[in-house]
Amino acid sequence: MKPLENLLVVDLSQFLSGPSASLRLADLGARVIKVERPGTGDICRHLYVSDIDIDGESTIFHAINRNKEGYVADLKDPKDLAKIRKLIDRADVVLHNFRPGVIDRLQLDYATVKKTNPGIVYAEISGYGKQGPWREKAGQDLLAQSLSGMTWLSGNAEDGPVPVGVAIADIWAGALLVTGILACLVRLSIGLNGRDQGGLVEVNMLEAMLDYQFEPLTVYLQDGELPQRTKTNNAHTLLGAPYGVYATADGYLSLAMGSIPRLGELLECPPLGEYIDPHSWFDQRDAIKQILVDHLKTRPTAEWLSILEPADIWCAEVLDWNQMMGKPGFQVLDMTQQVVRGNGTRYATTRCPIRIDGQRLTASRGSCDLGEHNTVLDQEFSL
């Protein structure tokens, strides 16, 4: 039995942040009912980022909305809205990522919902919070990364801002929302607030990005100095040489923290032996990295690994997905799974990375069609 079985979640969200949270709850055993608008449904169904689709819809939608039941409702229609209110009254968790004010106009806000369902854990994601001049900005991943300062941490010193190549603001905001939801469920289950009440969980994408940068931001808050990327091979603004990714004769090698003189001995690179003072590994990291750039490209990756790994130097070859999936280290994780949609379409995707009591958390149900379960849910919940 999964930890959240028998828990009912009503998901009013779309795009990535909210649906990523409900996906994780579903992976942990919760029953998730995804509510979408008629006609178009979740806009993410049509958010194409490649020429690959599944049943004529975006692969992103199918990746992030597996293992959920689909219900279609027009929240501007009083009859449909009444059905959703009735469904929420039966739920343990409800979540949404509407822009500030929208949920209040629908009278599905926390203050209203808890009057009829005091035990509800009510969770919401916004782009930048409910107050301030940015409250109406679109809560979109690249915009949140850009406003947060995060784009100045990747790339090299002379590069412009470099965004992270995945929807990190969406996914991390969703993960934080799950954390808050689970905390409220624990509080409710053990009666810490002394009442049979759930709670309101609020996360915004900008704060999620600031939280993700807690290390460099804490340093900045002490001295007011902006983080400085190295001239070449930057991988972390707070760390000295050799930290970075380097081209070899046939690929790439990543090097983490380590003694520069020791590295010089192992690599047969005498110039590195001059940097005896550990402070120089940060203060003169550009010069050290340039020495490594010139030296490491003289031999193939496997040869460097054969020298460095037995000496317990933290290093790794840099793989693309094709290379990674051919490695036993990836294969033993069994990180992908096949899921099946209601129409019989099968597709491969990732599984939940969490293990409970030694068991991998998998689920065979794929993504739902728009309104696929309306009839069944109407009957079950007398909607």
Q: How far apart are CA 165 and CA 225, in angstroms?
A: 26
62: in domain: yes
Task: Give pLDDT, residue 193.
Answer: 59
> What pLDDT band is residue 175 in, cutting at 50, 70 and 90?
very high
Does residue 274 sit in the same domain as residue 126?
no
> What pLDDT band is residue 52 in, cutting at 50, 70 and 90?
confident
Does residue 191 sit in the same domain as residue 101?
yes
Q: What is the CATH number of the domain that holds 125?
A: 3.40.50.10540
Does residue 297 sit in the same domain as residue 341?
no
Does residue 69 sit in the same domain as residue 153?
yes
Does residue 260 sit in the same domain as residue 311?
yes
Does residue 46 sit in the same domain as residue 194?
yes
Does residue 130 sit in the same domain as residue 207?
yes
For the stretch 255-279, pLDDT in tens is 999 999 999 999 999 999 999 999 9
List the structure tokens of 71: 């219900």
Q: Across residues 228-248, what is the average pLDDT?
A: 97
Q: How far apart are CA 272 and CA 264, in angstroms?
A: 5
Per-residue 3-state assignment (H helix, E strand, C coil) for the chain: CCCCCCCEEEECCCCCHHHHHHHHHHHCCCEEEEEECCCCCCHHHHCCCCCCEECCEEHHHHHHCECCEEEECCCCCHHHHHHHHHHHHCCCEEEECCCCCHHHHCCCCHHHHHHHCCCCEEEEEECCCCCCCCCCCCCCHHHHHHHHCHHHCCCCCCCCCCCCCCCHHHHHHHHHHHHHHHHHHHHHHHCCCCCCCCEEEEEEHHHHHHHHCHHHHHHHHHHCCCCCCCCCCCCCCCCCCCCEEEECCCCEEEECCCCHHHHHHHHCCHHHHHCCCCCHHHHCHHHHHHHHHHHHCCCCHHHHHHHHHHHCCCEEECCCHHHHHCCHHHHCCCCEEEEECCCCCEEEEECCCCEECCEECCCCECECCCCCCHHHHHHHCCC
247: in domain: no
Work out the mean pLDDT of the chain and round it to a whole number.
96
Does residue 28 sit in the same domain as residue 98?
yes
Of the residues 282, 317, 352, which one is the last residue of a structural domain?
Answer: 317
Residue 272 is part of which domain span?
A: 252-317
219: in domain: no
Share of the chain above pLDDT 90, in %: 95
Task: Give pLDDT, residue 190.
Answer: 85
Q: Which residue has the tokens 């047969």?
A: 268
239: in domain: no
Q: Across residues 100-105, what is the average pLDDT?
A: 93
Share of the chain above pLDDT 70, in %: 99
For the stretch 293-310, pLDDT in tens is 999 999 999 999 999 999
Q: Is the pLDDT of residue 194 over 80?
A: no
> What pLDDT band is residue 221 in, cutting at 50, 70 and 90?
very high
The model's pTM is: 0.95
Q: How far apart are CA 201 and CA 267, in angstroms?
A: 52
Does residue 366 sit in the same domain as residue 311?
no
Other Cβ atoms less than 10 A from the Cβ of 294: the count is: 12
CA count, 13 A, side-chain hemisphere, 144: 32
Does residue 282 sit in the same domain as residue 137?
no
For the stretch 144-153, pLDDT in tens is 999 999 999 9
Q: Which residue has the tokens 């032996």?
A: 273
- Residue 246 contacts residue 255 (beta carbons within 8 Å): yes
324: in domain: no
Closest among 45, 96, 107 to 203, alpha carbons compared: 96
For the stretch 316-325, pLDDT in tens is 999 999 999 9
224: in domain: no
> What pLDDT band is residue 51 in, cutting at 50, 70 and 90?
confident
Does residue 258 sit in the same domain as residue 367?
no
Q: Across residues 116-126, what is the average pLDDT?
A: 97
Domain count, the chain: 2
Q: Across residues 113-140, what is the average pLDDT?
A: 95
217: in domain: no
Does residue 190 sit in the same domain as residue 100?
yes
Q: Across residues 171-187, what is the average pLDDT?
A: 97
- Residue 183 contacts residue 148 (beta carbons within 8 Å): no
> What pLDDT band is residue 50 in, cutting at 50, 70 and 90?
confident
- Burial of residue 65 (CB within 10 Å: 0-12, 13-18, 19+) is buried
Q: Across residues 40-51, what is the average pLDDT?
A: 87
1: in domain: no
Task: Give pLDDT, residue 49.
Answer: 72
Q: How far apart are CA 272 and CA 262, in angstroms?
A: 8
List the structure tokens of 101: 């004010």
